[in-house]
Amino acid sequence: MKVHRSLGILEGKASPRLLSFSLSKTLGTHPGRCDDHRALKSIFVSIAAAVLLVGCASRVLVENPNFHVATDGWIQLFNGRNLNGWRENKFKHKPEWKVIDGVLIGHGGQGYLSSLEEFDDFELYAEARISDTAGGRGNSGVYFRCAPHVDKKQEFPPGYEAQLDHGDSNNPTGSIYALKIEGARAPKPATKDGEWVTMRIRAVGNHLQTWVNGKPAADCHDPENRHKKGSILLQMHHLTGKVEFREVRIRKIAKKN
């Protein structure tokens, strides 16, 4: 919180009365300053009103501890502090998720985090970094429209996966994994392990699109439209693999009538 020493007020806690008092103290009551006093007082009261409105808006954004909704419709699925809003699944070994300095880190085995909320048509943006602690290849992915995980013999529930694997020649980063239709395989991007990459996913009806570091990747239409709605999954792929997310946000796209 910043202190305005010339006015003796704190940002976010100022009131029009306090601003008016501070202004009077600063300008004094000299008759020759009366017009300036009135004009500046009007300006400061307007500023105070704006400060109070911003304070109210800020309180609205933090009322839900799991995520917040920005004015442009984005929902922060990862709040930068903990795993609120996510359900953890451990498939093999002892996978572990933790948050360090605002970064979500997964390692130690196969598993995933699943969003508690489900989405149908949406746009998702994530910043991720993959690596391998044994010198191998990093591997992860962002699943979407995933059904409930009923068959526990399967590592992951049914759904689409936007691939995060810079060394996979069959399904490079940005591909809709193993979806054998035209446009699902992305061109190999200039990405590598240990570097942060951005992933954007857009799903509207059966039209699925991805972008990697701002460049178009997959762009396809699933003729079977096999996954219409479901949760978002953050994948942890193998024992020595490591994946990090420093942002995961989503916004819903309204269906056209």
Task: Look at residue 69 and tell me if it is in a domain.
Answer: no
pLDDT at 35: 53
Picking from 18, 89, 30, 60, the residue whose alpha carbon sits closest to that of residue 234 is 89
User: Which pLDDT value is given to residue 67?
Assistant: 43
* Cα 141 to Cα 160: distance, rounded to the nearest angstrom: 10
pLDDT attached to residue 1: 41
Largest CA distance in the chain: 85
Q: Evaluate whether residue 177 is within a structural domain.
A: yes
Contacts of 50 (CB under 8 A, 6+ apart): none
**What's the pLDDT at 256?**
81
Is there a domain that residue 145 lies in?
A: yes
Q: Is 257 part of any domain?
A: no
Claim to verify: residue 172 and residue 100 sit in the same structural domain: yes
The answer to whether 173 touches 163, Cβ cutoff 8 Å, is yes
pLDDT at residue 70 in the model: 52
Residues 85 and 207 in one domain: yes
Residues 112 and 221 in one domain: yes
Residue type, 107: H
Residues 202 and 243 both lie in one domain: yes
Residues 87 and 166 in one domain: yes
- For the chain, what is the domain count? 2
Same domain, yes or no: 166 and 219: yes
Contacts (Cβ under 8 Å, ≥6 apart) of 75: 67, 68, 69, 249, 250, 251, 252
* pLDDT per residue as tens, the chain (257 positions): 433 333 333 333 344 433 343 434 444 444 444 455 454 445 444 444 443 333 433 323 332 344 444 558 999 999 999 999 999 999 989 899 999 999 999 999 999 999 999 999 999 999 999 999 998 999 999 999 999 999 988 989 999 999 999 999 999 999 999 999 999 999 999 999 999 999 999 999 999 999 999 999 999 999 999 999 999 999 999 999 999 999 999 999 998 86
> Does residue 235 share a domain with residue 138?
yes
163 and 81 belong to one structural domain: yes
pLDDT of residue 72: 83
Q: How many CA atoms lie within 13 A of 222 on its CB side?
A: 19
pLDDT of 17:
38
Is there a single domain that holds both residue 38 and residue 133? no
**Domain CATH for 84:** 2.60.120.560
Residue 70 belongs to a domain: no
Kindly state whether residues 48 and 118 are assigned to the same domain. Answer: no
Q: Which has the closest alpha carbon to 59: 11, 12, 3, 4?
A: 12
- Is residue 167 domain-resident? yes
pTM for this predicted structure: 0.74
> Cβ distance 203 to 189 under 8 Å?
no
> Where is the domain boundary, 29, 62, 95?
62
* Residue 81 sits in the same domain as residue 201: yes
221 membership: H or E segment, kind and range: strand 215-221
Quickly list DSSP for 107-138.
EEEEEEEEEEEEESSEEEEEEEEEEETTSS--
The confidence score (pLDDT) of residue 13 equals: 39
- With respect to residue 67, please indicate whether it lies within any of the assigned structural domains: no
Query: Whole-angstrom Cα distance, residue 87 to residue 83?
Result: 8
pLDDT at 62: 31
Q: Quick one: 81 and 189 in the same domain?
A: yes
Domain limits for position 37? 3-62
